[in-house]
Amino acid sequence: MTRFWTHAVLTASLAMCLATPAFAGDGVPTPWQMSFQTPATAVADFIYVMHDWVNVVIGLITLFVLALLIIVIVKFNEKANPTPSKTTHHVGLEIAWTLIPALILVGIAIPSFRLLKMQVELPKADITVKAVGHQWYWSYEYPKDQGGGFAFDSYMLSREDADKAGQPALLAVDNELVLPVGKNIVVQVIGQDVIHNFALAAFGVRMDAVPGRLNQTWFKAEREGIFYGQCSRLCGSNHAFMPIAVRIVSEEKYAQFLEEAKKKFASSEADTLKIASAAN
């Protein structure tokens, strides 16, 4: 018994030590991370709050069941209760253990449906962009009627280039998706070859990119910064190497980006046709 408790204490201490540097990154995962990234949208914030409260409910249920087991072990073992009870049914108890779990599930379902509504009910878009998943990179298209009219590919930087740029390896890209802060951004997501998934943890966004099907998701970033995501659907041998990098900037810097991008990614007819064909 002493050995058991010693092992338990050592395990808990190790977990606490590992948890010390395990704070969630701001837009980027960190080593030994044990919590969510800092939310950057109202949807992500709702997800995190709901997650925490559901864990509280789960913890209370676990403690309650554990307490019942201990009571049964102590009070109704053969030594303490040599004459076993002949009771087989208890109407009140059966109603309670049916009704109470149902009420708990309803209590969890109500915010779940609210969250689902927040995610799938698209607001009026201030800006619409298209994200096309390829094996193994992303393409982005900015519509012409919103000041864009260009498209570009976004590839993961090598570890050496990421280190030189001071950006995280396996997450940094050569061309980031640049968007303004405080705007409703609708992202049209589609796959060019196989199913991919457009996912950004800090935004609470996760949408499948399916060939031949145009899905839509949205977010409204509440602060500036760079936020990283990854393809979250197993899509082939280089699935782990098609990150998503979204840089959120002020409206002034976004307008400047559009002007510079029009020159940098001067959209030829071939580029436009390539993106358009992926959407059809």
pLDDT below 70 — which residues of the chain? Answer: 1-25, 267-280
Which of 208, 178, 181 minimizes the C-alpha distance to 196?
Answer: 208
**Fold match between domain 37-120 and domain 127-279:** no
How high is the pLDDT of residue 268? 46
Q: Are 163 and 169 in contact (CB under 8 A)?
A: yes
What are the strands of the beta sheet with 225-231, ordered from one edge?
177-180, 243-249, 225-231, 196-200, 205-209
Model pTM score: 0.78
How high is the pLDDT of residue 275? 44
Helix (H, G, I), strand (E, B) or coil at 12: helix
Q: How far is CA 197 from the centre of its chain?
A: 11
How high is the pLDDT of residue 20? 37
Q: How far apart are CA 49 and CA 52, in angstroms?
A: 5
Domain spanning 37-120: CATH 1.10.357.10: no
* Beta-carbon-side half-sphere exposure of residue 39 (alpha carbons within 13 Å): 15
How high is the pLDDT of residue 267? 53
How high is the pLDDT of residue 124? 93
Q: Which CATH number fits domain 127-279: 1.20.1250.20, 2.40.50.140, 3.40.50.10710, 2.60.40.420?
A: 2.60.40.420
Domain boundaries, given as residue ranges, for the chain: 37-120, 127-279
